[in-house]
Amino acid sequence: SQELEQSPQSLIVQEGKNLTINCTSSKTLYGLYWYKQKYGEGLIFLMMLQKGGEEKSHEKITAKLDEKKQQSSLHITASQPSHAGIYLCGADKGGGADGLTFGKGTHLIIQP
Amino acid sequence: SQTIHQWPATLVQPVGSPLSLECTVEGTSNPNLYWYRQAAGRGLQLLFYSVGIGQISSEVPQNLSASRPQDRQFILSSKKLLLSDSGFYLCAWKIFPGYTFGSGTRLTVV
């Protein structure tokens, strides 16, 4: 089965600084999703990447999928308190199975 | 508009008691629906998914079951809860470009 490993597990960043979160898959990614979760709440969809080398941006968040489609990175520029939360990467299960496999998440804390 | 509803928001249940969590979607027909559980230290795990009325696929053998009695309704149940069933349960709906999640139910089994 496919496994997604996220790094780092937790991250404390000073407000205004840039940061990067990584998501590495044990298998080729056919659809990679990034979500944000506030503690105790549902998941908010950020972006979905499908093609090798693809890059998407939303406000100050940019996500990339590498050419080999086994790793994705999420980059936040000039972090703000509103960026705090848990970032989760998810991948299409593939092989005819439905739903997503998720990484364990990255806890992001923004220090003022 | 297209929305997903999940309730209750929080639930405290004794060991051995039954469970019923409900999820409904609005503004669509024949949606693909999913139940996930988020437990401490284990990440978000897919439990069940359904592509239509009466069609349930189970991803992980466990003490839970799911049913889809109506097109836009997905129910998660248990006959007898275990302590290990505690967690944050999320319903999701597949709608392009991603999956939309409900607000979740925090279940504590005591």
Average pLDDT by consecutive 10-residue portion of chain B (110 residues)? Answer: 89 97 92 92 89 90 90 96 95 89 96
Q: Computed from CA positions of residues A80, A4, A32, B100, in that sequence, does the dihedral angle turn out positive or negative? A: negative
Q: What is the pLDDT of residue A95?
A: 67
Q: What is the pLDDT of residue A97?
A: 65
Q: What is the pLDDT of residue B61?
A: 67
- Pick from A42, A101, A103: which is nearest to B103 by CB? A42
Q: What is the pLDDT of residue B59?
A: 84
Q: What is the pLDDT of residue A76?
A: 98
- Pick from B42, B44, B49: which is nearest to A98 by CB? B49
Q: What is the pLDDT of residue B28?
A: 86
8 Å CB contact between A21 and A8? yes
Mapped to the 3 state alphabet, what secondary structure does A61-102 carry? EEEEECCCCCEEEEEECCCCHHHCEEEEEEEEEECCEEEEEE
CA distance B85 to A60: 38
Q: What is the pLDDT of residue A84?
A: 97
Do residue A103 and residue B43 have CB atoms under 8 angstroms apart?
yes
pLDDT by position in tens, chain A (length 112): 778 999 999 999 999 999 999 999 998 888 899 999 998 889 999 999 998 899 999 899 999 999 888 999 999 999 999 999 999 999 988 766 688 999 999 999 999 9
- Decide if B31 touches A, using CB distance below 8 A: no
- Decide if A99 touches B, using CB distance below 8 A: yes
Residues from chain B contacting residue A100 (CB–CB below 8 Å):
46, 99
Q: What is the pLDDT of residue A44?
A: 94
CA distance A102 to A105: 8
CA distance A31 to A29: 6
